Amino acid sequence: MAKKTKQTKVLPIYILNGPNLNLLGHREPEVYGYTTLAEIEAMCARQAKSHGLSIVFRQSNREGEIVDHLQEARTGGSAVIINPAGYGHTSIAILDSIQALKIPVIEVHLSNIHKREPFRNHSYVSKGATGIVMGLGAQGYLRAVDAVAEVLSSKSRSK
C-alpha cells in the first residue's frame, strides 16, 4: 500500500515596502532606477514561483501599518523581505516587530546606504535581520527571494 505523506503548504513570503516606494520609477530615477514597484512585485512573484513559493506584496507610507503587516506575517508568512525605506533609519517600533518574528527576515535597499549621506548609514532593521541585500537596485529583491528559498529549504532539510 502506498505510504501517505502529509503535504504541508508553505506560507507566502511577505514582501513589505516602506514610505515613498510607491513613487519608484516615476520620480528620481537617477537614484532609484526606472523599475516601478508594480514591476518589482511581478518580478518577485515570478522568482518566488520558480522556487515553488508565493508572495504577499505590500507598500505603506505609515509606520503603524507596517507594524500591522509584520504582525500578520508572524502567523501568516514563512519569511519577510522588507525595504523599510526611510523608517529603517528611525524606527525602533519596526525593529521590535521584526524581533518578535520567528521566521527569516531579509532587509533590502535599492541603494547602498553606506555610500550615501551619514544619516542613511545606520539601519535599526539590520539588527533584527537574518541577512541584508543592498546596492543592487530592483534585482536586490530577487536575490532576497533566492536567499529566502535557500534558508527555508535548509531549514526543512534539517527537520
Residue tagged active-site, from 14, 32, 124, 141: 32
Verify binding: residue 120, ligand CA2, rule CB under 6 A: yes
Q: Which is nearer to ligand CA2, 40 or 152 (CB)?
A: 40
Choosing from 55, 80, 110, 152, the residue that interacts with ligand CA2 (CB under 6 A) is 110
- The span from the CA of 114 to the CA of 6, in Å, is 46
For 115, the grid coordinates are 555610500
Contact 57, 108 (CB under 8 A): no
Active-site annotation holds for 32 = yes
Choosing from 78, 83, 91, 97, the residue that interacts with ligand CA2 (CB under 6 A) is 83
The amino acid sitting at 93 is A
Q: Which is nearer to ligand CA2, 13 or 21 (CB)?
A: 21
Residue tagged active-site, from 69, 109, 124, 141: 109
CA angle 21, 44, 39 (to 5 degrees): 50
Verify binding: residue 23, ligand CA2, rule CB under 6 A: yes
Which three-class secondary structure string do you get for 75-134?
HHCCEEEEECHHHHHCCHHHHHHHHCCCCCEEEEECCCHHHCCHHHCCCCHHHHCCEEEE
Q: Using CB under 6 A as the criterion, which residues of the chain lie in contact with ligand CA2 when the complex forms?
A: 20-21, 23-24, 27-28, 32, 83, 85-86, 109-111, 113, 120
Active-site residue numbers? 32, 109
